[in-house]
Every structure is written in C-alpha cells, then in structure tokens.
Chain A
Amino acid sequence: EVQLVESGGDLVQPGGSLRLSCAASGFTFSSHRMHWVRQVPGKGLVWVSRINGDGSITDYADSVKGRFTISRDNAKNTVYLQMNGLRVEDTAVYYCVRDSATFDYWGQGTLVTVSS
C-alpha cells in the first residue's frame, strides 16, 4: 500500500525557516517524481515544487523560487522541502504527492503557519 507521511509543519515567525519531510513507503520511491502542493485553509490547491526520481531536476513555482529547496534521499525514501525566508502568505497545509501518470497519491498534509 502506497503511503506518504508528511511531518515538520509548525508555527514560525516571518523570515524564519522550516524543513518539511515526506516519508514514502509501499512503492519504488526512486522511480517516481515527487511534488509538494499547498493549500491555504479554505482555499484551492497550488503546486509548489517538483523533483525527478534521482534528484537531478527540480522545478519551483515563481512564488517560492529562491526561497524553497526540494530534495530527496532515495536511501531513506524521503523527500524534503526546505523553506527559508518564510512569509505570512506561505501559511498553508503542505501536501506531498507522488507523480505516476500525474499526482496519483497524496499525503495527509502538514500545516505550516507563518505568523508573528
């Protein structure tokens, strides 16, 4: 059974940093692109970042480019999102998503709150 379990969400002050983790199981992790998608509570879904299977190719939404870094450790079956320079508008639930013919499995999400 495919499982994606996010962790690392917390309350952080503007300008602060946070690292999200997503532990994957139930499939061959290194064979899949992985994404982070976020959702402000009560609002819609917004794609944040993507990483390919071996970690050599990454992409970012313009809103996070230069502040967020996606990475993965295939030995640990884990994908990360390092978030620096956090802003109030980064407050959201962050979902880890597997990409197999596009976004087929989603984690339960982890809440990041940026507030002073």
Chain B
Amino acid sequence: DVVMSQSPLSLPVTLGQPASISCRSSQSLVHSDGKTYLNWFQQRPGQSPRRLIYQVSNRDSGVPDRFSGSGSGTDFTLKISRVEAEDVAIYYCMQSTHWPPYTFGQGTKLEIK
C-alpha cells in the first residue's frame, strides 16, 4: 500500500499570512497513463470533506485562487497564499494512482494563531 505522510500535522497561521502543507508518498504517484493522481481535501469543523485540488494542481470549481497545489513524483505541496478565517480546517492529501486501497495522509490541522 502507498503510505501518504503529511507535515506538519498542526499549523498555526496568522491571518493574512501564507501557509504550506507538505505531502509525501512512499512511491511515485505517476500513473502508467502519465497523469499523477494526487488530491487535496479540506474538512471544516463539523462538515464533510470537500475536494480542493485534483491531479496535483487543478483547482475545483468554487475554490478560491489563494489555494494552489504543486509537486511531482513523491513530493507535493498545498499552499494558501493568504490565510483567511474560513480556511480553519483539516487538510488531507490522498492518492488515487495505486489502488486498491486509496490512501490518505494523516491530516494537517490549520488554526489561526
């Protein structure tokens, strides 16, 4: 199984400041079709998860452009250019290249400092 490792697990950020979350996989997430199936999800308190980013860097409809995804191979990053209060949530990376099983990172809890 592919192990997904996120860091940090806790991320205190001042409003208006940038934030960055790292996600590493135990093997390359490049699929035989050439695509990389690395996704990011946001789970606000008391809510279901919501997909933010798919295939490394494609933002979902309605996701603010302050969110961006990057990376390749086994190393990926989710960046928030300027953190807003509504960004308080747990963020998960997930790989869907090598399945089953689909695997998630442990989650990174973003809070306002």
Contacts and interface: CB of A to CB of B under 8 A. Distances in A.
B94 A60 contact: no
Given A60-B100, A61-B101, A102 B106 contact: no
Contacts of A106: 48-50
A35 B102 CA distance: 10
B101 A95 contact: no
Contact of A46 (B39, B41, B104): B104
Nearest to B60: A104
A72 interface: no
B96 interface: yes
Interface residues of B, number: 24
B69 interface: no
Nearest to B49: A106
What 4 pairs across the A-B complex have the smallest Cβ distances?
Answer: A47-B102, A59-B100, A106-B48, A102-B96
Interface of B: 37, 39, 41, 43, 48-51, 54-55, 58, 60, 92, 94, 96, 99-107
24 contacts: A44-B104, A45-B41, A45-B104, A47-B101, A47-B103, A50-B100, A59-B99, A59-B100, A61-B100, A95-B48, A101-B54, A102-B37, A102-B51, A102-B54, A103-B39, A103-B41, A103-B94, A103-B102, A104-B51, A104-B54, A106-B48, A106-B49, A106-B50, A108-B48
Interface of A: 35, 44-47, 50, 59-62, 95, 101-104, 106-109
